[in-house]
Amino acid sequence: MCGIAGFTHTGSSYLPERIYQAVSSIGHRGPDQQGIWQNEVVSLGATRLKVIDRSAGSQPMSSGDNNVTLIFNGEIYNHVELRDQLIGLGHRFTTACDTEVVLRAFIEWDTACIEKLRGMFALAVWQETRQRLVLARDRMGIKPLYYARRGRDIYFGSEMKTIFCHPEVSRNIDLNALDTYLGLNYVPGAHTLAEGVLKLLPGHFLTWHDGEISSHRYWQANLRDHGALPTLEDSTAQLDQLLTQSVKEHLVADVPVGVWLSGGIDSSTVLHYASQHASKQLKTFSITFNGREFDETRYVREIATRYATDHHELDLGPASVTPESITELAYYSDEPNADAGAVPVWHLSRMSARDVTVALSGEGADELFGGYITYLADTYADAPALSLALSAGSPSAPQTGCAPPTRRSASTTNCSASSMEHCSTNATRTPFGMEPSPATSAVNSCSRTTTPTCSKSSQPFRLAETSAASWHSIRLTTCLTTCSPKSIA
């Protein structure tokens, strides 16, 4: 990953060294190259982890006439197609990196170029002739981008550290955000726990000019009724095509690429498609929990053997989770989170970084396909028969089996059809101030087998039996009729 930072300084005198401090605070995001660009209005900085065209593409990157300057964090998966289109319009390129494609796309199409970018990104562009700063974030919010206002000026960066290196920015807890965090285990929307520090929303870009800012939404999910659902065969073919395209594009890199493997459906699916397009043996990386009931080493090793990967494991025992590792994790996280999976992912990242620069995983699949058990519980809670049984409190409700086994949320990062840079558990939670749905606590645990089997439950009813095949077809067709291909970065 890379990192960006910057700020305007029209309202007061500025210290030229301040941008160096901001970039230094996120040096861990890009150890390969750091750069600074500044004038009397704005200061921009970038730190780069080189993935494509390691010999070129230094940032900040400016146009030949110095009118447009770009700092960029992310990957653009359709950069080859955009490059060809821009060449046809008369542009000439000096590098093979996607950063230059973004720069020249902005020169050609201005902010309209943002919706043409298919990938994960956070970027800032300074346009000298218009004295305008543009910030933009990808559709799903994979890449982070924070900002804060103070008077006429704006401060921004990939992490809040870049903002807090400015002593004039206040450091107060947002009590409303804290209230939300304690109820939901995360802070939703544009807010953060720091008062006055905001997240640029996914699918949005922001412009600053002469002390005034405006925010614009350039994309939103298409959730309209698309008519009749496609057949299972058509949906399967479309999903196969999308996964093939997505994983193949994520493998494009001039550095070693690996796969994070949990043994579940999602990461195993990514490995399956990656193995079809990898030019050499893939490296896989896993965290194990030897001797504990949630350990899935068996499944990890089975899939690693099947695809003949160069497999690496780290057993995460109590001795591994030290106060030092938790402190380090908190420092790099900026904001607190209630995802216990962040700890093993932190250790997994450190292990895999010794051998690869890019790691693919199944992160995002549970959200895209409704994989969390609470999604299934909500579906059944809406069913009239179950609602009637709940309201009557009848112990004679259906007792025949349970819902099909669904893969638990395994926190990993940076691939599948949808990518996420930061690990987050987005399972459906009870809204703050509301009582949990009775159906949520009624879900029985299922063993990891093809035939659903239920453990004993003290609840007076069980969910009606649904085959794994029919449930997954429902998830599949629902996804494919509500998510356009553009939403899959």
Task: State the catalytic residues.
Answer: 2
Alpha helix ranges (H) inside 157-316? 161-164, 175-184, 232-250, 265-277, 297-306
156 in Cβ contact with 7 (< 8 Å):
yes
For residues 278 and 73, what is the distance between their CA atoms, to the nearest angstrom? 25
From residue 463, alpha-carbon distances to 55, 367, 450, 454 in Å are 58, 22, 17, 10
Report residue 292 as tokens: 């504990």
Strand 358-360 to 257-260 pairing:
parallel
Nearest CA to 142 out of 125, 121, 127 is that of: 121
141 in Cβ contact with 204 (< 8 Å):
no
For residues 225 and 227, what is the distance between their CA atoms, to the nearest angstrom? 6
Q: Which amino acid is at 347?
A: H
Contacts 24+ apart (CB under 8 A), 250-253: 250/77, 250/358, 250/360, 250/414, 250/415, 250/419, 251/277, 251/278, 251/360, 252/52, 252/77, 253/51, 253/52, 253/357, 253/358
Report residue 301 as tokens: 């090793």
For residues 158 and 166, what is the distance between their CA atoms, to the nearest angstrom? 15
186 in Cβ contact with 337 (< 8 Å):
yes
